[in-house]
Structure 1
């Protein structure tokens, strides 16, 4: 084989593998750098992964059979593979964190060594034909190898940051820490509570979706100051022990459990494990602290805890904080609420839907317990803004959009459909369905389809294979076929929405869930 052509082949192989690696690294990041989750993802998406690396598969027989011409053909295949794997616009792009950079360095050493060996031993045809193509084919596995190789370094770095954050917390003995967890609703409650408490306190909350241990650590190290009086800490989990790990760091004085449901069952394995994990927060709350519980939730109401607790809800009449006389319109929601000690107030908010009112009630319960007056709370509730992608109203050229695109779940999806049903106009649902529901996913999506048939004038489902259970549920209710559309992607779905004749009525469009790039 020609030395020049071998060099060309090595260079184009590296270009192709860099593109493939960026793709796999993006997916690995979306899978939270977890080996188990990423392995499951690889198995689920093996067909598309093979399609993205088909050039590497073809290179092996071509290099074995055709010598120098094979090197030219394989180089062309490498460039085509690189083009096919170039980064596309993503909902959540790859973030080149320090960890990602360190993994790329490790991978660069592995690939660089393979390319050098191939170049030096270019006369060994079988080596040239197999080494680089096989490394390209097994890029996903090599990501996991690099992660394992880097683990001692990553563990040491993370532990250093955790200890720094723990020291900051312990040097602020007067700081009140409020932990919030739940299968859903925790981010909304966090934003609402931050607004309510900010009237009387200097408050810091974990930003966005910073709800992992390292996300909390980063928030503490970069943003927590001696002037802060309250730290609101959102706590997410995909495995037993995740909440306890965060609690061991921040030592919460108060805890809020917003909901429990069949979420992240692929990692938890069962709802029982979800319950156990969420109540790690209740166990961690200080002995003089209080746990706030959503008593509308069937799993929470049946759980016994030893700590002092206060309850809230909109349906459970036994809740301590119970909104009543609730009215909902496109202008917002109005409700009354009576505290356990008899103080009563009427609240109005621009937010829509019973689900939002439930989360507001939870935030009111905590803020009231921390001394914020009902008058102040009413003023702050009036100023609340929608949390992005959570029953957010958006006036657009195609109609009124109810954006509920973040992390759909059975309870939230039903509440969103009920909210849609309260509007006058042509009611349209656009959804890819719900994920991470484990063995119950098919059944729960079928039920979702039945519920959608009850409330929607038109239904647009995104993803033919993925939405089959929803289609079954919709059709089981005798829903008209000419009002049910199944499309390949969101843009095609919105085109279907635009094509629906308005008949002089306003289109009300519910966007329920928006799957991340690894689905």
Structure 2
């Protein structure tokens, strides 16, 4: 019987560690494999970290003290306690993984596989160390097996930091692989001598402008663009290595950044000739700290352009216009006559689509597009400005604007039978959220807002979410907020805006929120659901 109590917790310790490790590996991937971002996440979610660490720590402490003070009978107590701890942790993480469907599941990339290999080697080294303990193998396992419990309890309790340590050990290997891939991408770009590169950056709007511009230019050129929201060095490198061919004439490259210098790093990689800066806003203030640093980083693109190049700037972005840039610039704006070289007039937005007049110097051109949202007119004008400056005529651009489609998860109108869903789930920001609410207000029917609010706004996060709540009070008939912690400022804003408290529901998950939205009585009106932002699993 004593052997059973000695072996059972040791066996249960393996799945307990494995489940905890997989969960924190997933969070590490969502934090872009950055140790500093993961540490911030761990601090922000320290309650969850302590729920893992404390029972393991207490189990280890009990095991050590018990076997030092009461070596004869400790196996029954420590075996029972650790069986409960390991069994409980394994079941908890397993149940969580099976029942709480991840919005963005763990992807077993080559990098994750290398992390797993390093973690396995560390685990193996720990097991080997156990076998070096005198009497552990040939002696009495009932007497000496508690060392295995101490080892398993320790590595399970520190599983979040175990992942960080494995990543730290892998850094030289990852740096070597990264540099090799970057070198290959640079060679491919250099060999394509006639390729013109257009860099696009901004706090928001850059992905939409990228896809709009690619559609416009495709009428006349063979165009490659970075897919989805690929905007990091390795995302760009992957695009170049896997998709660039000698036939491509233009490469439209989205450029993202969380820190000063990251746009310059991308420019040093692809060497853009032209650029578009869509906006400067409070996105990623947690890492940038100030909007001035955001602006300086975005203008790293403009400063990297050659003399014959130019940059298109959104003249409606006040923070963007604060920069004293001396190079050639083309300004665009939304109904901003006198502020932009290109601006829109007579903007008409409905649930069916959008029409507007593009004005450039003395020229006027009328455009119609199925894309909805007033702010998308600004994005289209930015794309039109670049395409026109590169030599495309309005006659070539008319049919292309009619072909434009909403970018997935960016104010995308989806028909769900009896329900209209406005999917604006990607990376919400104050300007985009306001525009989404304005679009929702255009629809006739029972208007439902589903949102967890906005993140990564630094000290402005609470203020921006409260303002968003006040704006939402005027645009929707029912509000479903996701996550109690995130929802509080929005809830306050809704109430301050005079929104009825009985028409507010706080859900735990986005799935629950959508289910509630579909089940609401609408009095015979067609439900229109605006999904504004959808936070990943690490929020």
Partner of 1:267: 287
Residue of structure 2 aligned with 1:388, choices 408, 412, 416: 408
Given that 1:114 and 1:132 are in contact with CA atoms closer than 8 Å, whether structure 2 keeps it comes out as: no
Cα gap change, 1:120 to 1:9, in 2 (>3 Å): farther
Matched, 1:108 2:120: yes
Residue of structure 2 aligned with 1:67, choices 48, 68, 75: 75
CA distance in 2, matches of 1:207, 1:82: 38
| Higher deviation after alignment, 240-249 or 463-472 | 463-472
CA distance in 2, matches of 1:78, 1:403: 41
Deviation at 1:296, TM superposition (A): 1.0
Given that 1:336 and 1:346 are in contact with CA atoms closer than 8 Å, whether structure 2 keeps it comes out as: yes
CA distance in 1, matches of 2:55, 2:127: 17
Given that 1:193 and 1:364 are in contact with CA atoms closer than 8 Å, whether structure 2 keeps it comes out as: yes
Given that 2:60 and 2:153 are in contact with CA atoms closer than 8 Å, whether structure 1 keeps it comes out as: yes
Tell me the SS of whatever aligns to 2:311. strand
Deviation at 1:263, TM superposition (A): 0.6
| Higher deviation after alignment, 23-32 or 432-441 | 23-32
Matched, 1:372 2:389: no
Cα gap change, 1:398 to 1:127, in 2 (>3 Å): farther
Tell me the SS of whatever aligns to 2:505. strand
Q: Where has structure 1 moved over 4 Å in runs of 4 or more? A: 1-8, 52-55, 122-126
Matched, 1:14 2:14: yes
Deviation at 1:53, TM superposition (A): 5.6
Given that 2:9 and 2:149 are in contact with CA atoms closer than 8 Å, whether structure 1 keeps it comes out as: no
Deviation at 1:253, TM superposition (A): 0.4
Partner of 2:71: none
Tell me the SS of whatever aligns to 1:465. helix
Given that 2:335 and 2:345 are in contact with CA atoms closer than 8 Å, whether structure 1 keeps it comes out as: no
Partner of 1:84: 92
- Match runs of 1:4-403 below 5 Å: 9-52=9-52, 56-57=56-57, 59-61=59-61, 63-64=63-64, 65=66, 66-68=74-76, 70-71=78-79, 73-75=81-83, 77-86=85-94, 87-88=97-98, 89-118=101-130, 121=133, 122=136, 123-124=143-144, 127-317=147-337, 318-340=339-361, 342-397=362-417, 399-403=419-423
CA distance in 2, matches of 1:465, 1:239: 27
Matched, 1:504 2:516: no
Tell me the SS of whatever aligns to 1:85. helix
Deviations 1:42-98 (A, max 9, x none): 011111233356653453255354315633552453243223223342111112121
CA distance in 1, matches of 2:397, 2:279: 23
Cα gap change, 1:3 to 1:449, in 2 (>3 Å): same
Given that 2:185 and 2:237 are in contact with CA atoms closer than 8 Å, whether structure 1 keeps it comes out as: yes
Given that 2:24 and 2:160 are in contact with CA atoms closer than 8 Å, whether structure 1 keeps it comes out as: yes
Provide the aligned length of Structure 1 versus Structure 2: 518
Partner of 2:139: none
CA distance in 2, matches of 1:190, 1:11: 53
Q: What do you get for the CA RMSD once the two structures are aligned?
A: 2.0
Cα gap change, 1:250 to 1:119, in 2 (>3 Å): same
CA distance in 1, matches of 2:273, 2:6: 65
CA distance in 2, matches of 1:425, 1:55: 52
Given that 1:52 and 1:85 are in contact with CA atoms closer than 8 Å, whether structure 2 keeps it comes out as: no
Cα gap change, 1:267 to 1:440, in 2 (>3 Å): same
Deviation at 1:334, TM superposition (A): 0.8
TM-score, normalised by the number of residues in structure 1: 0.95
Deviation at 1:210, TM superposition (A): 1.4
CA distance in 1, matches of 2:537, 2:75: 39
Deviation at 1:120, TM superposition (A): 5.4
- Match runs of 1:455-494 below 5 Å: 455-494=475-514
| Higher deviation after alignment, 209-218 or 475-484 | 475-484
Given that 2:222 and 2:249 are in contact with CA atoms closer than 8 Å, whether structure 1 keeps it comes out as: yes
Deviation at 1:129, TM superposition (A): 4.2
Deviations 1:368-395 (A, max 9, x none): 1112221121101101111111111112
Given that 1:181 and 1:278 are in contact with CA atoms closer than 8 Å, whether structure 2 keeps it comes out as: yes
CA distance in 1, matches of 2:92, 2:417: 34
Given that 2:10 and 2:149 are in contact with CA atoms closer than 8 Å, whether structure 1 keeps it comes out as: no
CA distance in 2, matches of 1:505, 1:218: 47
Deviations 1:179-201 (A, max 9, x none): 01111111111111111111111
Is there any run of 5+ residues in structure 1 with no aligned partner, and where? none
CA distance in 1, matches of 2:224, 2:88: 49
Tell me the SS of whatever aligns to 2:473. helix
Given that 2:336 and 2:344 are in contact with CA atoms closer than 8 Å, whether structure 1 keeps it comes out as: no
CA distance in 1, matches of 2:326, 2:89: 59
Given that 1:7 and 1:119 are in contact with CA atoms closer than 8 Å, whether structure 2 keeps it comes out as: no
| Higher deviation after alignment, 2-11 or 453-462 | 2-11
Is there any run of 5+ residues in structure 2 with no aligned partner, and where? 67-73, 137-142
CA distance in 2, matches of 1:118, 1:412: 56
Deviations 1:475-510 (A, max 9, x none): 112221111222222232223323432222222211
Given that 1:37 and 1:267 are in contact with CA atoms closer than 8 Å, whether structure 2 keeps it comes out as: no
Deviations 1:191-238 (A, max 9, x none): 111111111111111111211001111111111111100001111111
